[in-house]
Structure 1
Amino acid sequence: MLSDHNCSGIAGFCVVALACIGREKWIRRRKSKQRADWGEISARGESMLLPVFSYMPDLMKSLQDPYHPYTNPRGHITLCVAENKLAIELIGSRLMQYETSSRAFSDAAAYCYSNTLGLPGPREAVAYFLAKHFMHPELTDMNVTEALDHVRPEHVAFGAGAGALVSHLALSLMDEGDAVLIPAPYYAAFTFDLTILAKSTVVPVHSPNPSVGPTPDELENVAASAEAKGLRVRVLLLTNPNNPLGTIYPPEFVRSSIDWARNRKIHTIVDEIYALSVRESGFESVLKTLNGDLRNDVRDNGFNSYLSNVMQRLNTDNAHTFHFYSFPKVHHVYALSKDFCASGFRIGTLYTKNQRLLSCVANLNSLSTVSQPMQLIVQDLLTDDNFIYGFLEHTCQRTRYNYEVCASHLDQMVIPYIPAKAGIFIFADFSSLLPEQTAEGEARFFSLLIDAAKIILTPGQAQRDRKPGMFRICYAFVSPEVLGIAMQRLDRLVGKIRRCHDWDNLNAKSLIDIIL
């Protein structure tokens, strides 16, 4: 028989045990609640789960089931990726030369920390390349010394691709929520690049004729409308040659747009990633249009810069006011991704005379510096004039052939398209085939392309085109033979749709012979 003392001790133990059990249950419930509140990642992390573009899941599906003439003839054919695969072996054979890799890995600088904007030699090579092929392409015999008189290496920075640089520019030039104007339609991933970190507000600028771009009045109307909604307009972003149109903006448009931005005291970013993928004359780089003049105010004759320096020496409180007006506000972005069939290299370049901006990019680059062996390889490539001129001629021939294959099939199908002078895509109008002239109608046609023809194109809605049924066809992503197969499938699908009077009759049975 237990004593009162023992009973009291057991009772006390039970109370403590129950209390501990209750506490553990409370802790488990609390942790469970915290997990529910926090999720597996933060709210900020949740925002980063958004796909780069809306059709990303469909792209992943197509890449997991690629067409092959023998092993998978009923596979998907991807025509939504702006990547040039037609001359990879040419660039590959050049870069696999022993001297190139030897120079890249024998230089001690490749193994050490350095300026995150880039090594001196590679930055000088980019400056030479920009001066020779962008600012003064007519001077084919320009030497390095002459080139560096036009483009200074200290105004050049590397970045992990053009997208990363656009993101860095948005972070450095804009506060959260600030607006960036982009002539529409535009590259689908710009929205991701500008919003994923910088949280900018992307405002499309529509115009009656997108191929020639919006007028200053149209830019002003859109800017004023954005400001009426409480947005602060900070940046104008131009892409020339244009993606997705494949057209070339005339120099007059580029200059008038920059003049408009300068008068409004906002920055202009000019993305010329397709500058050397041009099949017809007419392209002029902004560096040539402005003759390298990236100043803030088109009317500034140097007096503002002089006055700013004087005020700073006097340490006056108003020095920053004058310095603001002397900030260079045109920033040039390029990358090796398109013209050199090297999107996997993740090498972009920024050219700007805004030293404070370069300091921002230097800090941001500390988290994503371009590897120094790759910089040295790029240095070797960009200073090899004979190879570059020959390579660009070969790639132009190959892309022209695929363009003609694509265009001729569209002509046979009586599908309108915008004649492309540059780039690696065609912007085509399939609106006559939609079940209804809405975004939903475009989505149904897009699904039919994937399900019945196993072709994936870039939908116009993802590129902010107002007209349903516009699609970008990236013809350089596949060989001429595979492109021909894709266009045959598309031709058969178009014929089926035109012969069918009711979209509900377009089912698996009626479309079974699209893929032979």
Structure 2
Amino acid sequence: MELKYENSQLLSKIANTYHGENSPYFSVKQVYDADPFHPTKNPNGIIQMAVAENKLTYELIAEWIKKNPGASVCSPEGADDFKNIAAFQDFHGLPEFRDLTYELIAEWIKKNPGASVCSPEGADDFKNIAAFQDFHGLPEFRDAVAKIMKKVRGGKVNYDPDRIVMAGGVRGAMEMVMFCLADPGDAFLVPSPWYPGFDRFLKWRTGVQLFPVVCESSNNFQITREALEEAYDNARKANIRVKGLVITNPSNPLGNTVDRDTLRTLVTFINDKQIHFLCDEVYAATVFRSPDFVSVSEIIEEVECNRNLIHLLYGLAKDLGLSGFRVGIVYSYNDTVMNLCRKMSMVCLVSSQTQYFIARMLSDEEFIDEFLSESAARLGRRHNTFIKGLEKAGIKCLESNGAVYCWMDLRQLLQEPTFEAETSLWKMIINVYKLNVLPGSTFHCKEPGWFRISFASMDDETLRVALERIQIFASEILNGHNFISNTCNGK
């Protein structure tokens, strides 16, 4: 059922805004859902390459589930249905089951019978989690999360479980922090290109503005002190109060880690300006080649700064592939922010059953070590395969070492260096070549011709088909085929 928006005086101002729905980031889902690729049922359908999911390690956790039957969705017998809930779902309810491979987690569940209270083996603990719990997270869950946060950061930083607050996904966690730090009309600086989801969950309900720090391809989109100062000054000249800076590390959409020197520059900058620093580190364990990931938590041990300004966001959607479990984490060095987040978290809780299950799994250190190592290896292999396929098509990407996507350079395929030409090319890629990718303008990139394309959200056969289609469209567009006819008829 498609619901319509109606401007109504009976509703609030916030209800009459489209909160980013006109962005391709949100609209492409409808296009894909109308014609999804399937190797046998719909081989000419659209291949989903716009969603930033890591589906390469589901069978690892499935194996753990099979060894720990009580930690399954409900039982060892139900572990094979893990695939139906671990990926992103429609936020208003579960869609039809997806044909994914989550066997690794399901195997772990079946081998660990007591890890779920919804199983005979775990039923004795049911009474302990069925009632209200600490809204900011079960103690054993926060303990386990603190340990894995340390582990994925190379054991270089210790985290206090009492400084951890849970929320329903990193999006909810970030919005919660934003409510703590800024008032409507205030601004946060954001290096461009940036994750378009920020336009909804950082702005829509909070009323906060996002002010671009312009980064350019000439230096591989690196964040510089000069660009930060220029953005800060421009905001001040526009009478906008700047309350902070927000980044993703590894970057979304660039797919590379923010290096130590740049992080030192960022921390020094926010300390000089006495503004807040939100660092989204949800891709911390997806780094598959050097340089290693560096957390802002390391930097504040090296650089003198006001720690009350530092706020870390984390989750399990990318590092463990558990995007459907909706686990977001706030870790702030500011006591007041932590106290406020504890109070606010009661409206965006993580279910106690989810916490119980994940706490059991994260506490299995042998499994987690094996999982993180294998996940990085698989991401690295998939990235190499993908890059080689693009090179075969004559397409280059920004050099990357983490996350689950590439920043693809299609500037040579534009008819002219404009965002209108980028939009025409994007529509052709979706409508003619049936590949769901995202144009750079969606990410507020200041240069037309860049696209984010995900490589870890499909199986090997689908990837093979996708690369074949990419090679065909690159060849045909460079040779001038299809372009005018397919863009002029509105496709």
Q: 2:288 aligns with which of 279, 283, 307?
A: 279
Rounded to whole Å, the distance in 2 between the matches of 1:508 and 1:233 is 43
Rounded to whole Å, the distance in 2 between the matches of 1:135 and 1:47 is 43
Alpha-carbon distance, 1:444 to partner: 0.5
Rounded to whole Å, the distance in 1 between the matches of 2:7 and 2:419 is 35
User: Match for residue 312 of structure 1?
Assistant: none
Rounded to whole Å, the distance in 1 between the matches of 2:23 and 2:338 is 29
Alpha-carbon distance, 1:374 to partner: 0.8
Rounded to whole Å, the distance in 1 between the matches of 2:375 and 2:46 is 25
Identity of aligned residues (%): 27
User: Match for residue 404 of structure 2?
Assistant: 424
1:44 aligns with 2:63: no
Residue 126 of structure 1 aligns with an amino acid whose one-letter code is: V
Q: 1:98 aligns with which of 52, 64, 69?
A: 69
The 5-angstrom pairing of residues 257-296 of structure 1 reads 257-282=266-291, 283-291=293-301
User: Match for residue 11 of structure 1?
Assistant: none
User: Match for residue 224 of structure 1?
Assistant: 233
1:116 aligns with 2:135: yes
Residue 170 of structure 1 aligns with an amino acid whose one-letter code is: M
Rounded to whole Å, the distance in 2 between the matches of 1:360 and 1:210 is 39
User: Match for residue 352 of structure 1?
Assistant: 332
Residue 284 of structure 2 aligns with an amino acid whose one-letter code is: A
1:246 aligns with 2:226: no
User: Match for residue 172 of structure 2?
Assistant: 164
Q: 1:155 aligns with which of 163, 166, 181?
A: 163
Alpha carbons 2:193, 2:215 under 8 Å: kept: no
Query: Residues 52 and 135 of structure 1: is their aligned pair in 2 closer, same or farther, counting only changes over 3 Å?
Result: farther
Alpha carbons 1:135, 1:288 under 8 Å: kept: no
The 5-angstrom pairing of residues 455-470 of structure 1 reads 455-470=435-450
Residue 134 of structure 1 aligns with an amino acid whose one-letter code is: R
Query: Residues 93 and 37 of structure 1: is their aligned pair in 2 closer, same or farther, counting only changes over 3 Å?
Result: closer
**CA deviations over 1:32-66 (Å, ceiling 9, x no partner):** xxxx9835743321225642843422222213422
Q: 1:493 aligns with which of 465, 473, 487?
A: 473
Rounded to whole Å, the distance in 2 between the matches of 1:115 and 1:42 is 32
Query: Residues 204 and 50 of structure 1: is their aligned pair in 2 closer, same or farther, counting only changes over 3 Å?
Result: closer
User: Match for residue 346 of structure 2?
Assistant: 366
User: Match for residue 132 of structure 1?
Assistant: 151
User: Match for residue 65 of structure 1?
Assistant: 35
Q: 2:44 aligns with which of 67, 74, 87?
A: 74
Alpha-carbon distance, 1:474 to partner: 0.1
Alpha carbons 2:313, 2:328 under 8 Å: kept: yes
User: For structure 1, which runs of at least 5 residues remain unmatched after alignment?
Assistant: 1-35, 138-146, 301-325, 512-516
Residue 186 of structure 1 aligns with an amino acid whose one-letter code is: W
Alpha carbons 2:20, 2:199 under 8 Å: kept: no
User: Match for residue 85 of structure 1?
Assistant: 55
Query: Residues 117 and 67 of structure 1: is their aligned pair in 2 closer, same or farther, counting only changes over 3 Å?
Result: same
1:205 aligns with 2:175: no
Alpha carbons 1:135, 1:285 under 8 Å: kept: no
Residue 45 of structure 2 aligns with an amino acid whose one-letter code is: G
User: Match for residue 434 of structure 1?
Assistant: 414
User: For structure 2, which runs of at least 5 residues remain unmatched after alignment?
Assistant: 1-5, 73-113, 118-124
Q: 2:187 aligns with which of 179, 204, 208?
A: 179
Alignment: residue pair count: 434
Residue 436 of structure 1 aligns with an amino acid whose one-letter code is: E
SS in 1 for 2:285: coil
SS in 1 for 2:153: helix
The 5-angstrom pairing of residues 387-406 of structure 1 reads 387-406=367-386
Alpha carbons 2:394, 2:474 under 8 Å: kept: no
* Deviates most, 358-367 or 45-54: 45-54
Rounded to whole Å, the distance in 2 between the matches of 1:73 and 1:436 is 33
Alpha carbons 1:53, 1:462 under 8 Å: kept: yes
Alpha carbons 2:14, 2:204 under 8 Å: kept: no
Alpha-carbon distance, 1:151 to partner: 1.9
Alpha carbons 1:247, 1:421 under 8 Å: kept: yes
Alpha carbons 2:260, 2:294 under 8 Å: kept: yes
Alpha-carbon distance, 1:107 to partner: 4.6
Alpha carbons 2:247, 2:278 under 8 Å: kept: yes
Query: Residues 199 and 237 of structure 1: is their aligned pair in 2 closer, same or farther, counting only changes over 3 Å?
Result: same
Query: Residues 433 and 37 of structure 1: is their aligned pair in 2 closer, same or farther, counting only changes over 3 Å?
Result: closer
Alpha-carbon distance, 1:507 to partner: 7.1
**CA deviations over 1:440-492 (Å, ceiling 9, x no partner):** 11110011011111111011001111111100110111112111111111211
SS in 2 for 1:181: strand
Residue 77 of structure 1 aligns with an amino acid whose one-letter code is: I
* Deviates most, 459-468 or 405-414: 405-414
SS in 1 for 2:24: coil
Alpha carbons 1:183, 1:210 under 8 Å: kept: no
**CA deviations over 1:198-228 (Å, ceiling 9, x no partner):** 1111112113456463222321111011011
Residue 121 of structure 1 aligns with an amino acid whose one-letter code is: E
User: Match for residue 244 of structure 2?
Assistant: 235
Rounded to whole Å, the distance in 1 between the matches of 2:207 and 2:62 is 38
Query: Residues 199 and 95 of structure 1: is their aligned pair in 2 closer, same or farther, counting only changes over 3 Å?
Result: farther
- TM-score (normalizing by structure 2): 0.83
